């Protein structure tokens, strides 16, 4: 993969952290999610370097004994309705206010020449 670009996406304006994407020339994308933690100095300016450091750490690590997450069923697969509801709530919070429908209202005021007399 030849790296051609990076993108840093703020999650809820950075309140929830950042997602850094490394984009390859063949359309490959490696995403690193950096959640915001209390006391963390994470911001848009240093998110890219923190993601690079995390990728180096993962690349150098021995992966034997690492849990295969696909072997564990998701909330949907295990039909865990409480967890699915929690994930739905979180997803809706992440899209607010974009998930709210546009409200188009118009107001009219009744008025006119009430009580006036036209002269001839």
Q: Report yes or no on 35 lying in a domain.
A: yes
101 belongs to a structural domain = no
Give the tens place of pLDDT for each residue, 34-68.
999 988 899 999 999 999 999 999 999 898 888 77
Q: How many domains does the chain have?
A: 1
Tell me if 90 is assigned to some domain: yes
**100 found inside a domain:** no
Q: What's the pTM value of the predicted model, to 2 decimals?
A: 0.55
Summarize pLDDT for 54-103 with one digit per residue, the tens.
Answer: 999 999 989 888 877 777 666 666 677 787 777 777 776 766 655 555 55
Print the domain residue range for 89.
3-95
Q: Could you give the CA distance from residue 53 to residue 62 in angstroms, rounded to a whole number?
A: 16
Q: Residue 17: inside a domain, yes or no?
A: yes
Written as six digits, the tokens of 90 are 């979180």
Residue 68 in any domain: the answer is yes
Cβ distance 28 to 5 under 8 Å? Answer: no
């Amino acid at each position: 993969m030849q790296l051609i670009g990076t993108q840093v996406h703020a999650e809820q304006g950075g309140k929830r952290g950042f997602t850094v994407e490394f984009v390859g020339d063949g359309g490959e994308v490696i995403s690193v999610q950096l959640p915001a933690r209390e006391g963390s100095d994470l911001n848009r300016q240093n998110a890219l370097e923190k993601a690079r450091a995390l990728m180096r750490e993962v690349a150098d690590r021995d992966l034997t004994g690492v849990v295969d997450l696909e072997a564990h069923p998701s909330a949907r697969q295990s039909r865990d309705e409480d967890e699915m509801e929690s994930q739905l709530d979180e997803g809706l919070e992440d899209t607010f206010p974009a998930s709210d429908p546009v409200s188009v209202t118009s107001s009219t005021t009744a008025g006119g020449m009430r009580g006036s007399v036209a002269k001839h």
